[in-house]
Structure 1
Amino acid sequence: LDASLSGSAASILEPGHRWGLFPSVGAAWLLSEETALKSDWLNLLKFRASYGVAGRADYDTDLYLDVYGTGGSYLFGKNPSSISGMKITQLGLAGMTYEKSHKLNAGFDFMAFNKLSVTIDGFYDHRTDILISGNNAVSSIFGLSVPKINNGVVDSYGVETALRWADKVGDFNYQIGGMLTFNRNKIVNQNEEYRPYDYLKRTGNRIGQYFGYEVEGIYQNQGEIDHRNVKQNLSDVRPGDLKYKDQNNDGVIDSYDQVALGYSPMPEIYYSLDLNFEYKGFGIYALFQGTGHQSTLLNTPSLYWPLIDNSTISSEYYNNRWTPDTPNAKYPRLTSEGSANNYTTNSLWVADASYLKLRTLELYYNFSDEMMKKSKFVKSARIFARGHDLFCADKIKIADPENIGTNHPTMTQYTLGVNLSF
């Protein structure tokens, strides 16, 4: 059983309210040491759990102060002249405090046969007192910008697992290991503004959740546009433009028709698999890594949104654009004038950014101890050929899912090397 109590003071908080106390407690039970469970094959069985509170206060400075500045003017004097006035430009945040993270973790460690190891952890994180805007909590009739308040709440939960098997059969050594992490968060409170429909609400969704229009197809001709009982108000609509779903059935496509699309840019799933096989000094090592439940917005100029601000056009867009001869095209019509209707967040541009990459592949040879005995100076030697980011499986194909923008994509690298120990 472990317990701790930490204290910290943040100069960024109001004097007299700068100290925060954060307790934590953890407990574990080593079952493999119990007489009833002691065994030659069971190396370790340990259950553990912990709960604690952590705090952070990395806010902007002077948020607790009323700030005054020039504003307005008035006439003063025997011969009246205009004099600059003063006004409040920032209302101080009263009672500003630490953002707190209430963390609960439970898991176990397991080892058996001197070969198998397993670790599983489940966690829950309840974040409170997050500093968020207070504008939506106070009517605009107040007349001033409302200060931020410690009123945000976010819940996160998930599981982390790791498994490894290592064994030796004669001159053959091998290891197989992997890990999987699932982490989901939900906004519980963010002082969200009033929204007339539940599907518009950001509260209850993930942090960074994409919202946009649901694409139903592409308008094929002017008659289809004219006879549809839905008007799209985003911009002028022509044949070849995207057709959106009217979510509230009011006959108009506007901001009230945006819905949650895909996931957020931060993946909910991380996983990896590593393999190591070695026989009489010759070996191969491979590391695979990937993500899941991750989305990205395909809005890169030239590549996906062409001819905007004098940008160019990619062959991907040009070869898959709509024309009267390609009614089932992937992308809307090409226009040099841009299109607020087409180039906005919608289900066409919110793409699955999950991927699986071969991060590392290495071929090597470790010189044996017998061979090293012939050398007076070198104790061990190893030669290797290594590659990084050699392979990627994803649904985007034409761009690196880790870097959709115009920055340089992840580079494949090759290395030949020798390790010597003297």
Structure 2
Amino acid sequence: MPLDEKDYIYLGSDTPEISYSFNAGASYKGFDVSVIFQGSANRFVYRGIDNWTVPFRANYTNTITSSIGNVWSPENPDAYYAPYTNDANINNYNYQASSLTSQDGRYLRLKNLTIGYTFTDKLLQKIKFLQGARIYATGTDLWEYTKIKDGWDPEAARDATGLKRYPFTRNITFGVNLTF
């Protein structure tokens, strides 16, 4: 009996059913720390057929590295990716819309972490021209838990294809606040 549209099942929506965040902060003897976690649940992400989702889809194009060591072979039957080929007919069949190309889009991300130190008034009295001083380091998107297999940012819109898509990035900023 061949498969047809009656065999389709609903895998989920790109719109998260639950979006959440929580934060915390503390300070002690001039040191302070604050954290913000953010995420979503019950979300599925469909990755269409393009050069960023199908390894070696076309000659002379960049490709993802998540497929390395995770390509099907008789020795690796549980691999996520189909065998490498740049034959469009084979790739269009292997990567058609299915549970293979629909990924669990839930995630939890350490969105922001700030650690700082505020200098005491006693120390600042020695420096006559400063009324306040604080040094800090802030990191954004430092850590993430996700089941997205291709390394792309799970916050990106579903239709983020080609140049609209970007990988998960981390930023660290150091700063000084001075009050004169």
What residue is the counterpart of 2:178 in the other structure?
420
Partner amino acid, structure 2, of 1:415: T
Whether the aligned pair in 2 keeps the contact of 1:300 and 1:405 (CA below 8 Å) is no
Q: Provide, for residues 49-71 of structure 1, a one-character-per-residue CA deviation record: whole Å limited to 9, x for no partner.
A: xxxxxxxxxxxxxxxxxxxxxxx
Query: Following the alignment from structure 1 to structure 2, what is the Cα–Cα distance between the partners of residues 331 and 300?
Result: 13
What residue is the counterpart of 1:346 in the other structure?
98
What residue is the counterpart of 1:257 in the other structure?
7
Whether the aligned pair in 1 keeps the contact of 2:30 and 2:120 (CA below 8 Å) is yes
Q: CA deviation at 1:327?
A: 3.0
Does the alignment pair 1:328 with 2:78? yes
Q: CA deviation at 1:416?
A: 1.3
Structure 1 runs not aligned, ≥5 long:
1-250
Query: Following the alignment from structure 2 to structure 1, what is the Cα–Cα distance between the partners of residues 34 and 9?
Result: 45
**Any residues of structure 2 matched to 1:17-416 within 5 Å, and which?**
251-261=1-11, 263-299=12-48, 301-310=50-59, 311=61, 313-338=63-88, 339=90, 340-372=92-124, 377-399=129-151, 400-403=153-156, 405=161, 407-416=165-174
Q: CA deviation at 1:345?
A: 0.8
Out of 326-335 and 408-417, give the one that drifted further.
Answer: 326-335
> Which one has a bigger Cα radius of gyration?
1
Q: Could you state the TM-score of these two structures normalised by the residue count of structure 2?
A: 0.77
Q: CA deviation at 1:394?
A: 0.9
CA RMSD of aligned residues (A): 2.7
> What fraction of aligned residue pairs are identical, expressed as a percent?
35
Whether the aligned pair in 2 keeps the contact of 1:305 and 1:343 (CA below 8 Å) is yes
Q: Provide, for residues 167-219 of structure 1, a one-character-per-residue CA deviation record: whole Å limited to 9, x for no partner.
A: xxxxxxxxxxxxxxxxxxxxxxxxxxxxxxxxxxxxxxxxxxxxxxxxxxxxx
Partner amino acid, structure 1, of 2:76: T
Query: Following the alignment from structure 2 to structure 1, what is the Cα–Cα distance between the partners of residues 13 and 40?
Result: 12
Whether the aligned pair in 1 keeps the contact of 2:51 and 2:58 (CA below 8 Å) is no
Whether the aligned pair in 1 keeps the contact of 2:66 and 2:149 (CA below 8 Å) is no
Quick one: higher RCO (CA 8 Å, sep 6+), 1 or 2? Answer: 2
Whether the aligned pair in 2 keeps the contact of 1:304 and 1:317 (CA below 8 Å) is no
Q: Tell me, what secondary structure is at the counterpart of 2:115?
A: strand
Q: CA deviation at 1:303?
A: 4.4
Whether the aligned pair in 2 keeps the contact of 1:271 and 1:290 (CA below 8 Å) is yes
Change (3 A) 1:300 1:401: farther
**Number of aligned residue pairs:** 171
Partner amino acid, structure 1, of 2:109: K
Query: Following the alignment from structure 2 to structure 1, what is the Cα–Cα distance between the partners of residues 168 and 93?
Result: 32
Q: Tell me, what secondary structure is at the counterpart of 2:66?
A: helix
Query: Following the alignment from structure 1 to structure 2, what is the Cα–Cα distance between the partners of residues 359 and 371?
Result: 33
Change (3 A) 1:312 1:416: closer
Query: Following the alignment from structure 2 to structure 1, what is the Cα–Cα distance between the partners of residues 54 and 2?
Result: 25
Partner amino acid, structure 2, of 1:274: N
Q: Could you state the TM-score of these two structures normalised by the residue count of structure 1?
A: 0.36
Bigger share in strand? 1
Change (3 A) 1:278 1:313: closer
Query: Following the alignment from structure 2 to structure 1, what is the Cα–Cα distance between the partners of residues 119 and 68?
Result: 55
